[in-house]
Amino acid sequence: MCIFREKRELTNDARTRIANWLLVKKSTGKLKRGTVKEALELFGVHRTTIYRILKQAKALWQNGDAVNMDSKKPKRVGKKGKHIDLSKISEIPFHKRGNIRALAIALGVSKSTIHRFIKSGQIKPHTNALKPALTENNIKERLKWCLKAIDQDNGMFNDMYNTIHLDEKWFYMTKGTQRYYLLPGETQPYRTCKSKRFVTKVMFLCAVARPRFNADGECIFDGKIGMFPFVRWVPAKRRSRNRPAGTLELKPVTSVTKEAYRNMLIRQVIPPIMQKWPDNDQGPIYLQQDNARPHIEVQDRDFMEAVQNSNKDLRLVFQPPNSPDMNVLDLGFFRAIQSLKDQTAPKNTKELVKNVKNAFREYCPTKGNRVFLSLQLVLIQVTRVKGSNNYLQKHVGKEALERQGLLPIVFSPSPSLVEECLAYVEAMQ
Protein backbone atom coordinates (compact mmCIF):
# COMPACT_ATOMS: atom_id res chain seq x y z
CA MET A 1 0.00 0.00 0.00
CA CYS A 2 1.36 3.41 -1.00
CA ILE A 3 1.61 5.81 1.96
CA PHE A 4 2.65 9.03 0.14
CA ARG A 5 0.81 9.47 -3.15
CA GLU A 6 0.78 13.26 -3.38
CA LYS A 7 3.88 15.24 -4.25
CA ARG A 8 4.75 17.09 -1.06
CA GLU A 9 7.55 17.51 1.44
CA LEU A 10 7.96 14.51 3.74
CA THR A 11 7.33 14.89 7.44
CA ASN A 12 9.93 14.00 10.05
CA ASP A 13 8.02 10.86 11.02
CA ALA A 14 7.82 9.73 7.40
CA ARG A 15 11.57 10.17 6.84
CA THR A 16 12.36 8.27 10.06
CA ARG A 17 10.04 5.44 9.03
CA ILE A 18 11.70 5.12 5.63
CA ALA A 19 15.19 5.23 7.20
CA ASN A 20 14.42 2.47 9.73
CA TRP A 21 12.90 0.29 6.99
CA LEU A 22 16.02 0.71 4.83
CA LEU A 23 18.39 -0.02 7.74
CA VAL A 24 16.51 -3.23 8.53
CA LYS A 25 16.88 -4.31 4.92
CA LYS A 26 20.62 -3.42 4.99
CA SER A 27 21.32 -5.06 8.34
CA THR A 28 22.05 -8.33 6.57
CA GLY A 29 24.69 -6.64 4.36
CA LYS A 30 24.28 -5.23 0.90
CA LEU A 31 20.75 -4.29 -0.22
CA LYS A 32 19.15 -7.03 -2.23
CA ARG A 33 18.20 -6.43 -5.83
CA GLY A 34 14.71 -4.90 -6.06
CA THR A 35 14.75 -3.33 -2.57
CA VAL A 36 14.68 0.25 -3.94
CA LYS A 37 11.80 -0.63 -6.26
CA GLU A 38 9.94 -2.14 -3.32
CA ALA A 39 10.49 1.07 -1.31
CA LEU A 40 9.14 3.16 -4.19
CA GLU A 41 5.93 1.16 -4.28
CA LEU A 42 5.58 1.13 -0.51
CA PHE A 43 6.27 4.77 0.30
CA GLY A 44 5.40 6.47 -3.01
CA VAL A 45 8.47 8.76 -3.11
CA HIS A 46 11.08 9.42 -5.78
CA ARG A 47 14.12 7.15 -6.28
CA THR A 48 16.57 9.93 -5.37
CA THR A 49 14.70 10.49 -2.09
CA ILE A 50 15.26 6.82 -1.16
CA TYR A 51 19.00 7.09 -1.88
CA ARG A 52 19.34 10.37 0.04
CA ILE A 53 17.58 9.03 3.14
CA LEU A 54 19.61 5.81 3.02
CA LYS A 55 22.89 7.75 2.81
CA GLN A 56 22.01 9.95 5.79
CA ALA A 57 20.74 7.04 7.90
CA LYS A 58 23.82 4.92 7.09
CA ALA A 59 26.19 7.70 8.16
CA LEU A 60 24.38 8.16 11.48
CA TRP A 61 24.28 4.40 12.13
CA GLN A 62 27.98 3.89 11.41
CA ASN A 63 28.92 6.74 13.81
CA GLY A 64 26.80 5.19 16.53
CA ASP A 65 24.40 8.10 16.62
CA ALA A 66 20.65 7.85 16.91
CA VAL A 67 18.88 7.77 13.57
CA ASN A 68 17.28 11.23 13.75
CA MET A 69 15.85 12.22 10.36
CA ASP A 70 14.26 15.48 11.45
CA SER A 71 14.49 18.28 8.91
CA LYS A 72 17.41 20.67 9.33
CA LYS A 73 15.32 23.57 8.03
CA PRO A 74 14.31 26.19 10.59
CA LYS A 75 10.61 26.65 11.21
CA ARG A 76 10.51 30.03 9.45
CA VAL A 77 12.76 30.80 6.49
CA GLY A 78 13.10 33.71 4.12
CA LYS A 79 12.72 37.42 4.61
CA LYS A 80 10.73 38.42 7.64
CA GLY A 81 7.36 39.98 6.84
CA LYS A 82 6.83 43.70 7.28
CA HIS A 83 4.02 44.71 9.60
CA ILE A 84 1.51 47.07 7.99
CA ASP A 85 -1.10 48.91 9.98
CA LEU A 86 -4.21 48.57 7.81
CA SER A 87 -6.16 50.86 10.11
CA LYS A 88 -4.38 53.76 8.41
CA ILE A 89 -6.49 53.11 5.30
CA SER A 90 -9.48 54.75 6.99
CA GLU A 91 -7.44 57.96 7.30
CA ILE A 92 -6.78 58.10 3.54
CA PRO A 93 -9.41 60.09 1.56
CA PHE A 94 -11.62 57.95 -0.65
CA HIS A 95 -10.49 59.73 -3.83
CA LYS A 96 -6.89 58.67 -3.11
CA ARG A 97 -7.70 54.96 -2.92
CA GLY A 98 -9.66 54.41 -6.10
CA ASN A 99 -7.30 51.69 -7.38
CA ILE A 100 -4.55 49.36 -6.16
CA ARG A 101 -1.73 51.62 -7.37
CA ALA A 102 -3.09 54.72 -5.60
CA LEU A 103 -3.70 52.84 -2.35
CA ALA A 104 -0.20 51.30 -2.46
CA ILE A 105 1.38 54.74 -2.88
CA ALA A 106 -0.69 56.18 -0.03
CA LEU A 107 0.36 53.34 2.31
CA GLY A 108 3.95 53.24 1.08
CA VAL A 109 3.87 49.56 0.09
CA SER A 110 4.01 47.64 -3.16
CA LYS A 111 1.02 46.83 -5.35
CA SER A 112 1.54 43.10 -4.80
CA THR A 113 1.22 43.63 -1.05
CA ILE A 114 -2.14 45.33 -1.50
CA HIS A 115 -3.19 42.53 -3.85
CA ARG A 116 -2.38 39.92 -1.18
CA PHE A 117 -4.46 41.80 1.37
CA ILE A 118 -7.37 41.86 -1.08
CA LYS A 119 -7.04 38.12 -1.70
CA SER A 120 -7.01 37.41 2.02
CA GLY A 121 -10.09 39.55 2.57
CA GLN A 122 -8.40 42.15 4.79
CA ILE A 123 -9.15 44.84 2.17
CA LYS A 124 -12.53 44.79 0.45
CA PRO A 125 -13.01 46.21 -3.08
CA HIS A 126 -16.15 48.32 -3.40
CA THR A 127 -17.90 49.75 -6.46
CA ASN A 128 -19.71 52.96 -5.61
CA ALA A 129 -22.57 54.39 -7.67
CA LEU A 130 -23.99 57.90 -7.67
CA LYS A 131 -27.45 58.28 -6.20
CA PRO A 132 -29.98 61.05 -6.80
CA ALA A 133 -29.80 64.03 -4.45
CA LEU A 134 -32.95 64.17 -2.36
CA THR A 135 -34.71 67.25 -1.06
CA GLU A 136 -36.61 67.26 2.22
CA ASN A 137 -39.87 66.97 0.30
CA ASN A 138 -38.47 64.00 -1.68
CA ILE A 139 -37.62 62.19 1.55
CA LYS A 140 -41.09 62.76 2.91
CA GLU A 141 -42.75 61.52 -0.29
CA ARG A 142 -40.56 58.40 -0.35
CA LEU A 143 -41.47 57.56 3.22
CA LYS A 144 -45.18 58.11 2.54
CA TRP A 145 -44.94 55.87 -0.52
CA CYS A 146 -43.44 53.04 1.56
CA LEU A 147 -46.11 53.34 4.24
CA LYS A 148 -48.84 53.43 1.60
CA ALA A 149 -47.64 50.06 0.25
CA ILE A 150 -48.31 48.41 3.63
CA ASP A 151 -51.65 46.72 4.22
CA GLN A 152 -52.98 48.22 7.44
CA ASP A 153 -54.98 45.07 8.25
CA ASN A 154 -52.06 42.64 8.52
CA GLY A 155 -49.01 44.95 8.56
CA MET A 156 -47.53 43.33 5.45
CA PHE A 157 -46.78 44.80 2.05
CA ASN A 158 -49.38 44.55 -0.68
CA ASP A 159 -48.79 41.68 -3.10
CA MET A 160 -48.24 44.23 -5.92
CA TYR A 161 -50.10 42.05 -8.44
CA ASN A 162 -52.21 45.01 -9.59
CA THR A 163 -49.33 47.35 -10.47
CA ILE A 164 -47.69 47.70 -13.88
CA HIS A 165 -44.30 49.39 -13.84
CA LEU A 166 -43.49 51.66 -16.79
CA ASP A 167 -40.14 53.13 -17.72
CA GLU A 168 -37.96 53.99 -20.72
CA LYS A 169 -34.43 52.89 -21.50
CA TRP A 170 -31.93 53.41 -24.30
CA PHE A 171 -30.49 50.27 -25.89
CA TYR A 172 -27.32 50.78 -27.93
CA MET A 173 -26.17 48.89 -31.01
CA THR A 174 -22.89 48.12 -29.25
CA LYS A 175 -20.92 49.20 -26.21
CA GLY A 176 -17.85 51.41 -26.37
CA THR A 177 -15.84 48.83 -24.44
CA GLN A 178 -16.74 45.16 -24.73
CA ARG A 179 -15.15 42.25 -22.85
CA TYR A 180 -14.37 38.97 -24.65
CA TYR A 181 -12.52 35.83 -23.62
CA LEU A 182 -9.96 34.63 -26.17
CA LEU A 183 -7.57 31.73 -26.54
CA PRO A 184 -3.82 32.47 -26.44
CA GLY A 185 -2.82 33.70 -29.87
CA GLU A 186 -6.42 34.10 -31.05
CA THR A 187 -7.07 37.20 -33.16
CA GLN A 188 -9.02 39.81 -31.25
CA PRO A 189 -12.26 41.13 -32.76
CA TYR A 190 -12.06 44.33 -34.79
CA ARG A 191 -14.96 46.71 -34.15
CA THR A 192 -15.43 50.10 -35.80
CA CYS A 193 -17.91 52.96 -35.88
CA LYS A 194 -17.79 56.44 -37.33
CA SER A 195 -18.15 58.15 -33.95
CA LYS A 196 -18.32 56.82 -30.41
CA ARG A 197 -20.57 59.73 -29.51
CA PHE A 198 -23.22 58.74 -32.04
CA VAL A 199 -23.64 54.98 -31.68
CA THR A 200 -27.05 53.90 -32.98
CA LYS A 201 -29.53 53.59 -30.13
CA VAL A 202 -33.25 53.00 -29.69
CA MET A 203 -35.43 53.95 -26.74
CA PHE A 204 -37.92 51.35 -25.50
CA LEU A 205 -40.90 51.74 -23.23
CA CYS A 206 -41.17 48.66 -21.02
CA ALA A 207 -44.28 47.58 -19.12
CA VAL A 208 -44.13 44.70 -16.65
CA ALA A 209 -46.33 43.41 -13.83
CA ARG A 210 -45.64 40.82 -11.17
CA PRO A 211 -45.85 37.24 -12.48
CA ARG A 212 -48.44 34.90 -11.04
CA PHE A 213 -48.14 31.18 -10.27
CA ASN A 214 -50.67 28.52 -9.34
CA ALA A 215 -50.49 26.14 -6.39
CA ASP A 216 -48.26 23.75 -8.38
CA GLY A 217 -45.72 26.50 -9.13
CA GLU A 218 -46.71 26.80 -12.78
CA CYS A 219 -46.67 30.29 -14.30
CA ILE A 220 -50.19 31.36 -15.30
CA PHE A 221 -49.27 34.99 -16.08
CA ASP A 222 -45.70 36.03 -16.88
CA GLY A 223 -46.36 39.73 -16.22
CA LYS A 224 -44.61 40.81 -19.43
CA ILE A 225 -46.95 43.34 -21.01
CA GLY A 226 -44.53 44.44 -23.70
CA MET A 227 -41.32 46.10 -24.85
CA PHE A 228 -42.26 48.93 -27.21
CA PRO A 229 -39.61 50.78 -29.30
CA PHE A 230 -39.86 54.44 -30.24
CA VAL A 231 -39.18 54.01 -33.97
CA ARG A 232 -40.71 55.03 -37.28
CA TRP A 233 -40.51 53.99 -40.92
CA VAL A 234 -38.89 56.69 -43.07
CA PRO A 235 -38.36 56.57 -46.88
CA ALA A 236 -34.71 56.76 -47.90
CA LYS A 237 -33.86 60.17 -49.40
CA ARG A 238 -30.99 58.91 -51.57
CA ARG A 239 -30.18 55.69 -53.30
CA SER A 240 -27.29 53.49 -52.25
CA ARG A 241 -25.80 50.21 -53.37
CA ASN A 242 -27.97 48.49 -50.71
CA ARG A 243 -31.40 49.95 -51.65
CA PRO A 244 -32.99 52.42 -54.05
CA ALA A 245 -34.27 55.83 -53.02
CA GLY A 246 -37.70 55.79 -51.41
CA THR A 247 -37.19 52.42 -49.64
CA LEU A 248 -38.73 52.45 -46.17
CA GLU A 249 -36.13 52.26 -43.41
CA LEU A 250 -36.63 51.82 -39.69
CA LYS A 251 -35.30 54.88 -37.85
CA PRO A 252 -35.20 55.53 -34.08
CA VAL A 253 -37.08 58.46 -32.60
CA THR A 254 -34.28 60.46 -30.97
CA SER A 255 -36.53 62.84 -29.00
CA VAL A 256 -39.49 61.37 -27.10
CA THR A 257 -42.09 64.07 -26.49
CA LYS A 258 -45.21 64.08 -24.35
CA GLU A 259 -47.31 63.45 -27.47
CA ALA A 260 -45.17 60.45 -28.46
CA TYR A 261 -45.42 59.03 -24.95
CA ARG A 262 -49.20 59.50 -24.87
CA ASN A 263 -49.61 57.77 -28.23
CA MET A 264 -47.42 54.90 -27.04
CA LEU A 265 -49.58 54.37 -23.96
CA ILE A 266 -52.86 54.52 -25.87
CA ARG A 267 -51.90 52.54 -28.97
CA GLN A 268 -49.25 50.13 -27.71
CA VAL A 269 -49.63 49.61 -23.95
CA ILE A 270 -53.38 49.53 -23.32
CA PRO A 271 -54.26 46.88 -25.99
CA PRO A 272 -51.82 44.25 -24.60
CA ILE A 273 -53.14 44.89 -21.09
CA MET A 274 -56.67 44.22 -22.29
CA GLN A 275 -55.48 41.05 -24.02
CA LYS A 276 -53.07 39.58 -21.44
CA TRP A 277 -54.45 40.64 -18.06
CA PRO A 278 -56.03 37.76 -16.08
CA ASP A 279 -59.81 37.71 -16.42
CA ASN A 280 -60.37 36.83 -12.78
CA ASP A 281 -58.78 40.13 -11.67
CA GLN A 282 -61.40 42.88 -11.92
CA GLY A 283 -59.82 45.41 -9.55
CA PRO A 284 -58.05 48.63 -10.50
CA ILE A 285 -54.75 48.39 -12.37
CA TYR A 286 -52.15 51.01 -11.50
CA LEU A 287 -49.68 52.15 -14.16
CA GLN A 288 -46.67 53.38 -12.20
CA GLN A 289 -44.39 55.87 -13.94
CA ASP A 290 -41.59 58.16 -12.85
CA ASN A 291 -41.56 61.95 -13.01
CA ALA A 292 -39.86 62.41 -16.40
CA ARG A 293 -41.02 65.47 -18.36
CA PRO A 294 -42.60 63.57 -21.30
CA HIS A 295 -44.86 61.60 -18.96
CA ILE A 296 -48.50 62.63 -19.07
CA GLU A 297 -50.63 63.73 -16.13
CA VAL A 298 -52.82 61.34 -14.19
CA GLN A 299 -56.03 62.91 -15.55
CA ASP A 300 -54.85 63.32 -19.15
CA ARG A 301 -57.96 63.70 -21.31
CA ASP A 302 -56.93 61.48 -24.24
CA PHE A 303 -55.68 58.77 -21.91
CA MET A 304 -58.89 58.80 -19.87
CA GLU A 305 -60.95 58.45 -23.05
CA ALA A 306 -58.87 55.43 -24.09
CA VAL A 307 -59.37 53.89 -20.63
CA GLN A 308 -63.13 54.37 -20.86
CA ASN A 309 -63.16 52.54 -24.21
CA SER A 310 -61.33 49.59 -22.68
CA ASN A 311 -62.74 47.05 -20.25
CA LYS A 312 -60.14 47.71 -17.57
CA ASP A 313 -59.91 50.17 -14.70
CA LEU A 314 -56.51 51.70 -15.50
CA ARG A 315 -55.09 54.43 -13.27
CA LEU A 316 -51.87 56.37 -13.74
CA VAL A 317 -49.75 57.01 -10.65
CA PHE A 318 -46.43 58.79 -10.16
CA GLN A 319 -43.73 57.22 -8.03
CA PRO A 320 -41.81 59.55 -5.67
CA PRO A 321 -39.44 62.03 -7.38
CA ASN A 322 -35.77 61.07 -7.70
CA SER A 323 -36.58 57.49 -6.72
CA PRO A 324 -35.51 54.98 -9.39
CA ASP A 325 -35.20 52.41 -6.60
CA MET A 326 -38.99 52.37 -6.34
CA ASN A 327 -39.34 50.80 -9.81
CA VAL A 328 -38.62 47.13 -10.54
CA LEU A 329 -37.32 47.99 -14.00
CA ASP A 330 -34.46 50.05 -12.61
CA LEU A 331 -33.90 47.59 -9.75
CA GLY A 332 -32.94 44.66 -11.95
CA PHE A 333 -35.21 44.04 -14.93
CA PHE A 334 -33.42 46.37 -17.36
CA ARG A 335 -30.04 45.01 -16.30
CA ALA A 336 -31.14 41.46 -17.14
CA ILE A 337 -32.55 42.48 -20.53
CA GLN A 338 -29.36 44.39 -21.29
CA SER A 339 -27.26 41.34 -20.45
CA LEU A 340 -29.30 39.12 -22.78
CA LYS A 341 -29.19 41.71 -25.57
CA ASP A 342 -25.39 42.08 -25.27
CA GLN A 343 -25.04 38.43 -26.26
CA THR A 344 -26.17 39.38 -29.78
CA ALA A 345 -24.49 41.44 -32.49
CA PRO A 346 -27.11 43.56 -34.32
CA LYS A 347 -25.98 45.29 -37.51
CA ASN A 348 -28.86 47.74 -37.99
CA THR A 349 -31.82 49.27 -36.17
CA LYS A 350 -34.19 46.53 -37.26
CA GLU A 351 -31.97 43.80 -35.81
CA LEU A 352 -31.46 45.81 -32.62
CA VAL A 353 -35.22 46.09 -32.06
CA LYS A 354 -35.65 42.39 -32.79
CA ASN A 355 -32.88 41.34 -30.39
CA VAL A 356 -34.19 43.48 -27.53
CA LYS A 357 -37.69 42.07 -27.96
CA ASN A 358 -36.29 38.52 -28.04
CA ALA A 359 -34.37 39.21 -24.82
CA PHE A 360 -37.61 40.49 -23.27
CA ARG A 361 -39.44 37.29 -24.25
CA GLU A 362 -36.63 35.05 -22.97
CA TYR A 363 -36.56 36.65 -19.54
CA CYS A 364 -37.65 34.11 -16.92
CA PRO A 365 -40.85 35.02 -15.00
CA THR A 366 -39.43 33.41 -11.87
CA LYS A 367 -36.61 35.94 -11.83
CA GLY A 368 -39.13 38.71 -12.41
CA ASN A 369 -40.99 37.63 -9.28
CA ARG A 370 -37.76 37.89 -7.28
CA VAL A 371 -37.28 41.49 -8.43
CA PHE A 372 -40.68 42.42 -7.01
CA LEU A 373 -39.64 40.87 -3.70
CA SER A 374 -36.40 42.87 -3.90
CA LEU A 375 -38.55 45.98 -4.24
CA GLN A 376 -40.28 45.13 -0.98
CA LEU A 377 -36.91 44.69 0.72
CA VAL A 378 -35.91 48.12 -0.62
CA LEU A 379 -39.06 49.63 0.86
CA ILE A 380 -38.14 48.15 4.25
CA GLN A 381 -34.64 49.63 4.03
CA VAL A 382 -36.05 53.03 3.04
CA THR A 383 -38.30 53.06 6.09
CA ARG A 384 -35.34 52.25 8.32
CA VAL A 385 -33.38 55.27 7.02
CA LYS A 386 -36.50 57.49 7.22
CA GLY A 387 -36.93 58.00 3.47
CA SER A 388 -33.29 58.46 2.52
CA ASN A 389 -31.50 56.53 -0.23
CA ASN A 390 -28.36 55.98 1.85
CA TYR A 391 -28.88 52.30 2.59
CA LEU A 392 -27.47 48.91 1.63
CA GLN A 393 -29.55 46.47 -0.36
CA LYS A 394 -30.60 43.57 1.86
CA HIS A 395 -30.05 40.03 0.58
CA VAL A 396 -32.06 37.13 1.95
CA GLY A 397 -31.14 34.34 -0.53
CA LYS A 398 -34.38 34.34 -2.50
CA GLU A 399 -33.17 31.69 -4.95
CA ALA A 400 -32.27 29.28 -2.14
CA LEU A 401 -35.58 29.93 -0.39
CA GLU A 402 -37.37 29.25 -3.66
CA ARG A 403 -35.66 25.88 -4.06
CA GLN A 404 -36.74 24.95 -0.55
CA GLY A 405 -40.30 26.13 -1.14
CA LEU A 406 -39.97 28.78 1.58
CA LEU A 407 -40.02 31.95 -0.54
CA PRO A 408 -42.83 34.19 0.78
CA ILE A 409 -45.26 36.09 -1.43
CA VAL A 410 -44.73 39.30 0.53
CA PHE A 411 -42.35 40.59 3.17
CA SER A 412 -43.40 42.58 6.20
CA PRO A 413 -41.64 45.32 8.18
CA SER A 414 -41.67 45.17 11.95
CA PRO A 415 -44.72 46.83 13.58
CA SER A 416 -42.46 49.02 15.72
CA LEU A 417 -40.74 50.33 12.58
CA VAL A 418 -44.09 51.18 10.98
CA GLU A 419 -45.24 53.04 14.09
CA GLU A 420 -41.95 54.89 14.27
CA CYS A 421 -42.21 55.99 10.62
CA LEU A 422 -45.83 57.11 11.06
CA ALA A 423 -44.81 59.29 13.98
CA TYR A 424 -41.88 60.63 11.96
CA VAL A 425 -44.15 61.60 9.04
CA GLU A 426 -46.56 63.36 11.38
CA ALA A 427 -43.69 65.32 12.87
CA MET A 428 -42.57 66.42 9.39
CA GLN A 429 -45.98 67.93 8.58
Identify the CA nearest to 379 among candidates 349, 409, 412, 404.
412
User: In this structure, are 152 and 163 located in the same domain?
Assistant: no
Average pLDDT, the chain: 89
What phi, psi does 248 have (nearest 5°)?
Answer: -70, 130
Tell me the residue ranges of DSSP E strands in 192-262: 201-209, 212-213, 219-221, 224-229, 231-235, 248-252
Dump pLDDT digits (tens) for 397-425. Answer: 999 999 998 999 999 899 999 999 989 88
pLDDT tens string 287-303: 999 999 999 999 999 99
Q: Are 331 and 325 in contact (CB under 8 A)?
A: yes
- Confidence at residue 2, expressed as pLDDT on a 0 to 100 scale: 45
pLDDT of residue 68: 73
Residue-number span of the structural domain to which 212 is assigned: 159-177+196-363
Residue 83 domain-assigned? Answer: no
Q: What is the CATH number of the domain that holds 262?
A: 3.30.420.10
- 129 in a structural domain: no
Distance CA 249, CA 263 (A): 21
CB 398 within 8 A of CB 373: yes
Residues 373 and 342 in one domain: no
Is the residue at 82 inside a domain? no
pLDDT at 33: 79
Residue 85 included in any domain = no
State percent of the chain over pLDDT 90: 63
pLDDT-derived band at 6, boundaries 50, 70, 90: very low
The model's pTM = 0.78
